[in-house]
C-alpha cells in the first residue's frame, strides 16, 4: 500500500517588516479539493492578498468592519460611529415612528424614545 504524503505545518513568521505595500508574497493555493489537492505556488501582491483575506469577513458575525476615510466605523457602507473633540458621535437615521420592537430606539419628533414593543 502506498504511503500518503504528509503535510507539514508552516511556521508562523513575523513578516511585518518584510511585507510592505507594493511587496509580493509567495502563496500556496489549492485549486483542487481536500480529497484531490492541486497545489500551485503563486506570487501575489501583498495588498491584493490582504483585500481578499478581509473581503469575506466584512460585516460577518465575528468578522471585521470597515473604517471611513475620516476614521469612523462603517457597517454595510454607512458611517455609524466616530469621535470628534473627545465626544462620541453616533450617526444613525432612527425610524420616525415606533417600530413595535421592544428596546428599539426611535425618533419621536426630535426626542429619542425606546419602544416597549407591540
What residue spans of 6-116 are helical by DSSP H? 46-55
Does 5 score more than 50 pLDDT?
no
**What sign for the dihedral angle of Cα 88, 93, 94, 96?**
positive
Distance of CA 13 to the CA centre of its chain: 23
3-class DSSP state for residue 47? helix
- Model pTM? 0.37
Give the model confidence (pLDDT) of 47-98 as tens digits.
766 666 666 676 677 777 778 888 888 877 788 888 888 888 888 888 999 9
Q: Rounded to whole angstroms, how far apart are CA atoms 45 and 51?
A: 10
Amino acid at each position: 500500500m502506498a504511503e500518503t504524503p504528509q503535510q507539514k505545518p508552516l511556521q508562523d513568521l513575523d513578516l511585518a517588516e518584510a511585507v510592505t505595500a507594493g511587496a509580493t508574497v509567495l502563496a500556496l493555493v489549492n485549486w483542487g479539493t481536500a480529497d484531490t489537492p492541486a497545489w500551485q505556488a503563486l506570487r501575489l501582491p501583498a495588498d491584493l492578498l490582504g483585500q481578499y483575506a478581509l473581503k469575506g469577513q466584512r460585516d460577518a458575525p465575528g468578522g471585521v468592519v470597515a473604517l471611513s476615510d475620516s476614521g469612523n466605523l462603517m457597517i454595510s457602507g454607512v458611517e455609524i460611529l466616530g469621535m470628534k473633540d473627545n465626544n462620541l458621535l453616533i450617526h444613525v437615521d432612527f425610524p420616525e415612528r415606533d417600530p413595535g420592537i421592544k428596546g428599539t430606539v426611535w425618533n419621536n419628533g426630535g426626542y429619542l424614545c425606546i419602544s416597549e414593543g407591540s
